[in-house]
Structure 1
Amino acid sequence: MRRDNAMIEVTIDGALFEGWTGAEVELDMKEFSARFSLYCHDQEASAAALAHVHSAKNKRLQRRAAVSIKVDGVTVLNGRIEKRSSNIEAAFADITVEGRCKLGDLVDCTALVDDTPAEMHNVKLEDAVARIIKPYGIGVRTEIDTGAPFPRYSIDLDESPFTAIEKGARQRQARVLSDGIGNVVITRSGGTRAADAITLPGNVLKASIDESDEQSYSKTIVRGTSERAGKKRGKASLDTTAEPLLPADRAAGDGSATRTERAGTAVTGIAEDEEIGRYRPKVYLARTKADHDSARAEAEWRRNTARGAAAEVTYIRRGHSVEGKLWRPNTIVPVSDAFNDINRDMLISKVTFIQNNDDGQITSLGVISPESFEKGEPKKKQRKNKVAKQKKALDTTAERL
């Protein structure tokens, strides 16, 4: 679908593709890789099968073709077609293709292959990420201070590059996101503000909310092991002159040695959520060597993330940008929603750019509590607070889809 005022532009294998009738581009903080779907008339395939089609403008769509998508002139995704499905009838044929940005390979593949190190020592998070993703030709951008180096950063035999990266990010309470165009971004939530406010009634065409406590817990516990056990164990010298004891002469210990060893090597981090209101504990194992501080930080990160997943509101707005500024995930947006009783700053966690013949150009915005991805103890969750000063008057021009 090509128009003079088209907001979405698709290039396939370096050539502008005009055969699509609908497009969706999804940027989601919880999915890591950006996704796209194109609903098309494959003109070359149709010309080969349908008698009334006499010419073909676009070449036949194939899996693995390179795709680049612009929204309002800004490139938001570089990737490849991964799935292709088709339907043909007597006088009609259509094709649907789907794919992801370059970072999709980091989710699917295995990290520990070829020259990827199985273990790194005294390495900062961003350096570990760069070494893990190097074979894929993907870059890394760091927007925050990632803290102290990891004494030891190991990669399991069967884990993906994404899980190898994400487990380290959890311990540093960082987010690893895709920028859609071929880079891993290490960041935290809500560093910038969104293109505009969301108001209902006002500039919202549709709104829906999903709430669930299935993944929420009253107590989140992270347990792991530490290599820093020397101070707990104390010093002991080895007596090389002693002779082995016979089994009959061996005396049972009092358990102190075991307790000392456990105190030196076992670490535990706990984060509680009083809002759950009942006993619902959950234990996770730290995937890297941890100390008590990093285990507690990971427990808090998991609790806060679960809070964000418990309630997400989706708003549909006309257009893809406001005054030339695209909607983006990981931005703070003022929300004034009378129906859902929300009047506060929220975090945009998911943006889907949509364009088709029925709806025109619209954007779906998924928003959650901004405390969901913050470090440490979250502020007391509330639906109402003072919205930022940039809040505008209600726009009563929005029309129903």
Structure 2
Amino acid sequence: MAAADIVSLVVAGKAFAGWTDVDVEVGIDALSGAFRMAFTERWPGQPTAWEIEPGDACEVWIGDDQVMTGWIDRRDAAVTVDSHRLEVTGREKTCDLVDCSAIHRPGSWTGRRLEQIAADLAAPFGIAVTALVDTGAPFARFALQQGETVFDAIERMTRQRGVLPVTTAAGDLAFIRPGEVQAGYGLTLGENLESVSFANDVTDRFSAYHLKGEAADASRPSARAADPGVRRHRPLLIVNDDDSTTAGLGERARWEATVRAGQGQTATGEVSGWRDQTGALYRPDRLVPLKAGLLGLDATLLVASVRYSRGDQGSRSTLGLTRKEAYSLLAIPEPSAARRSATTPPGDA
């Protein structure tokens, strides 16, 4: 096996390799990626003890490329009269932001930026925060809601600022706007793309989106946007429960039409190996041209997730692909002081 394809699990500075079964998945569609590694070995005597335990900090590497930094969640071991098996599973460090409650005193901030509030919430978990894009103006006021997780709180803020939270290979939190990086390679069925599936789902798409503001008088603002891809009569009425303007409702109506259409069209491609033609690992948040004439596909899609696997069929990468529009982001106006409830993200289509 080439050194570039050796998978190493690094625990306490020691690299464990030789895994025969590997599943590592990272993406922009879930804050915390996950991994599973296992090996089965025949042995004449006692198995060698591998010092890997649940709760250990770890790093996952493919060759010289760091893929993730996280924690061991579980260790399973089994023995028979002539073999032993070890399986280890874990997640990226940001799993604690997804799992754990947001606890901070006094629990509210005034005049602080998104990355500053997120850094306060993430600091107890040893997670740094970086804004790779402009996150907009400071929040006039932001307060935690009883019982919400750290990720829930951060997601509320990112929706209001039109950015996406993702995990870096070092296990830290970054704010991005996806779909701005070209992959530098293409995927063509019968060449480097071995198989592809495509789903076109209109279940959550509507022919027209009608948005109305909350005002009860005759001045109540409203807006409408259409999805020409839905050919039958399927209207959806959404009442925006924050202060609204006709322009703002129009943006949200277009966002609903565009994002729902993007989310309804997804593809899954499988390629041999873990690296593209340039020798770089396949990575999420890349725009890649995809051609599969048998499915009528000839489009540039966004790589939302990558799963690196190794098993009986060798090393393979499974790419989760979607239209870039599925991740269109539009900042939500902050709720007025009199009405601070969470809302469905308005948007831009």
The structural deviation recorded for 1:269 is 8.4
Counterpart Cα distance in 1 of 2:187 and 2:101:
41
CA change 1:155–1:183 in 2 (3 A) is same
CA RMSD of aligned residues (A): 3.3
Instruction: Please give the residue correspondences for 1:167-186 in structure 2 after superposition, counting only pairs within 5 Å.
Output: 167-186=156-175
* Alignment-derived partner of residue 81 in structure 1: 72
Match of 1:25 in 2: 24
Equivalent in the alignment of 1:91: 82
Look up the equivalent residue of 1:26 and give its one-letter code: E
Give how far 1:160 is off.
0.8
Partner deviation per Cα, 1:203-223 (whole Å, 9 max, x = no partner): 112222334334445566889
Report the equivalent of 1:232.
none
Q: Which amino acid aligns with 2:304?
A: S
2:273 match: 319
Residue 96 of structure 1 deviates from its aligned partner by 2.4
Q: Distance in 1 between the 2:179 and 2:165 partners? A: 14
Taking a change above 3 Å as real, the CA distance of residues 282 and 156 of structure 1, as seen in their structure-2 partners, is farther
Number of residues of Structure 1 aligned to a counterpart in Structure 2: 329
Once residues 316 and 211 of structure 2 are traced to their aligned partners in structure 1, the CA distance between those partners, rounded to angstroms, is 42
Structure 2 counterpart of 1:281: 236
Match of residue 360 from structure 1: 314
Q: Which residue of 1 aligns with 2:177?
A: 188
Are residue 150 (structure 1) and residue 139 (structure 2) matched? yes
Code of the residue aligned with 1:70 in structure 2: it is: W
Pick aligned residue for 2:289 from 313, 334, 346: 334
Counterpart among 332, 345, 352 of residue 300 in structure 2 = 345
For 2:229 and 2:295, the matched residues in 1 are separated by 19
Shift of 1:270: 7.0
Report whether the alignment pairs 1:374 with 2:325. no
**Identity fraction in percent:** 24
Contact 1:195–1:326, Cα closer than 8 Å, also in 2:
no
Q: Which one of 163, 171, 180 corresponds to residue 152 of structure 2?
A: 163
Alignment of 1:116-127 (within 5 A): 117-127=106-116
Of the three residues 199, 211, 214, the one matched with 1:210 is: 199
TM-score where L is the length of structure 1: 0.71
**Is the Cα–Cα contact under 8 Å of residues 263 and 323 in structure 2 kept in the other structure?**
no
Aligned to 1:307: 261
Per the normalisation by structure 2, the TM-score is 0.80
SS of the aligned residue for 2:5 comes to coil
Unaligned runs of 5+ in 1: 226-257, 379-401
Quote the Cα distance in structure 2 between the aligned partners of 1:360 and 1:7. 12
Structure 1 residue 170: deviation in Å? Answer: 1.6
Letter in 2 for 1:167: R
1:53 maps onto 2:52 in alignment: no
Cα distance per residue 1:210-241 (max 9 Å; x no partner): 3433444556688999xxxxxxxxxxxxxxxx
Does the C-alpha gap of structure 1 residues 220 and 184 become closer, same or farther in structure 2, counting only changes over 3 Å? farther
Query: In structure 2, do the counterparts of structure 1 residues 268 and 355 end up closer, same or farther at CA, with 3 Å as the change threshold?
Result: farther
1:162-216 Cα distance to aligned partner (Å, 9 max, x none): 1111122122221111113222121112121114110012111222233433444
**Residue aligned with 1:165, SS:** helix
Match of 2:12 in 1: 13
- Check the 8 A contact 2:68/2:169 in 1, yes or no: yes
CA contact 2:115–2:129 (8 Å) conserved in 1: yes
> What are the ranges of 5 or more consecutive residues in structure 2 without an aligned counterpart?
330-346
1:47-74 C-alpha deviation (Å, 9 max, x unpaired): 8xxxx33451x42542112221112311
- Alpha-carbon separation, structure 1, partners of 2:114 and 2:158: 7
